[in-house]
Copies of this chain bind each other. A is one copy, B any other.
Amino acid sequence: MALAAITEPDRPWTRRAFSPRFLEGRAWLRQQFVDAGMSVRLDASANLIARLEGRVKDAPPIMLGSHSDTVPSGGRFDGTAGIVAALEAVRALRASGHPFRHPIEIVDFLAEEPSEYGLSCVGSRAMVGELAPAMLAYTNAQGETLSDAIIRVGGDPSAIATLPKPIIAGYLELHIEQGVVLERNSLDLGIVSGIAGITRVEIVWKGAADHAGSTPMAYRRDASLAAAEMVLLVDRYARGFADRNEGHFVATVGVLEISPNAANVVPGGARMIVDIRAERVALVDEYVALLDRESTAIEARANVGRERFAVLSRNPPAPCDTHLRDLLDRSAAKLGYSSTMLASGAGHDAAFISHIGPSAMLFIPCRGGKSHTPEEWSEPHQLAIGAATLYETIRLLDGQNI
């Protein structure tokens, strides 16, 4: 709550990456890390990294993390929960008196949320060598490059390309679920099976924008009819794919626009973006092919042209490490917490960190599944259960019980 209070005063809870508030939040975090006996540094891409040394020289660190930036008018838990739960776990580890074999690192990844520079997961991309030079040239509305913004918050973009990828014992990220599965099923924890890949398809329909009063029904080429058919098909097929139980599968028409969108004009155009999230690439391929086929059939049926059918983006899924998942599972069971395995439909820094080492995620419930809104909420005991499980998992990963 203390970190959340560092917000733009007129629109809580806002702490945008690269903003003065963001730096205030990091200054506060840095102090907490220091008070917990950790050393703190910024890496070349301005990830804030706190470290507690272990007793085995040169052992790879157990990495914990999440992000302290927020979306505009966002919540107090998305990202922050993962950082403070990790901090609490480290405090408890120190208090336990057990000297750890591995160093423990807590990373506040830079700009996980979609930033003003048109990119999300800036810090985790950079850490795993996937922040391309072209991305560093992205600009915000004021024309500042991402590269200059990183310098402004203490990074050194020129060093990013040659940075060695860290070697880690494992990466663990606690996060609020941003969904309702745990709440509806009264479960304490979600052990994340994997982070779904996100594929976005844009479909554009073109008909004729005729006068709504004077154009007889039989003469129309109404693009909204094709779009409406497609909206229903996207949903119906997605339900079928989800029911196959081949991992998480959802599809959504989140963007739907008709033009000219005037009461007295037959819609001459319609545009939609289909967002598809799945744990298996094969399912996505099959689903996109199905939409392609069906939209061609609609074109003929509705007497409108399918002007565009384009895959806008296609991020692969990132399965969570099975060993880490097993440790999370054992920890939850040992502590008597109920849990289920579930996929993350949203993207996270863990998806990028999985490219350099074993990574896993732990979800805690959030009220009504709400996230990215001021109402975002998890109860203190839900956070405590998550932190305790994280603590126990770190102990297992470090080999404390061997």
The interface of chain A, by Cβ under 8 A from chain B, is: 177-181, 184, 196, 198, 200, 210-219, 222, 224-225, 227-229, 231-232, 235, 238-239, 242, 248-250, 252-258, 261-267, 273, 275, 277, 344-347, 369, 371-372
Contact = CB atoms under 8 A, between A and B. Distances in A.
B254 A216 contact: no
A346 B213 contact: yes
A217 B232 contact: no
Contacts of A211: 178-179, 345-346, 369, 371-372
Given A254-B266, A256-B256, A277 B213 contact: yes
A231 B235 contact: no
A125 to B, nearest CB: 18
Contacts of A346: 211, 213-214, 264
A275 B264 contact: yes
Contacts of A345: 211-215
Contacts of A196: 213
A247 to B, nearest CB: 12
B275 A212 contact: yes
A213 B277 CA distance: 6
- Interface core residue of A224, A347, A371 (most chain B CB under 10 Å): A224
23 contacts: A177-B214, A179-B215, A179-B216, A180-B210, A180-B219, A198-B213, A210-B369, A213-B344, A213-B347, A217-B235, A217-B239, A217-B250, A225-B235, A228-B228, A228-B229, A228-B232, A229-B232, A232-B232, A252-B263, A252-B265, A254-B265, A255-B258, A255-B263
Nearest to A181: B216
A255 B314 CA distance: 31
A250 B254 CA distance: 29
Given A177-B214, A219-B184, A225-B235, A263 B275 contact: yes
Contacts of A218: 239, 242
A223 to B, nearest CB: 11
Contacts of A181: 214, 216, 219
B224 A369 contact: no
B369 A252 contact: no
Contacts of A347: 213
Nearest to A369: B210
Given A255-B262, A258-B256, A275-B264, A212 B242 contact: no
Contacts of A212: 250, 252, 254, 275, 277, 345
B214 A178 contact: yes
A227 B198 CA distance: 25
A5 B292 CA distance: 47
Contact of A369 (B215, B229, B250): B215
A216 B179 CA distance: 8
A215 B256 contact: no
A214 B369 contact: yes
Contacts of A216: 179, 181, 242, 248, 250
Given A222-B235, A255-B262, A256-B267, 15 more contacts: A177-B214, A178-B213, A179-B214, A211-B346, A215-B345, A216-B248, A217-B250, A222-B252, A224-B231, A225-B231, A225-B235, A227-B228, A252-B263, A252-B265, A255-B261
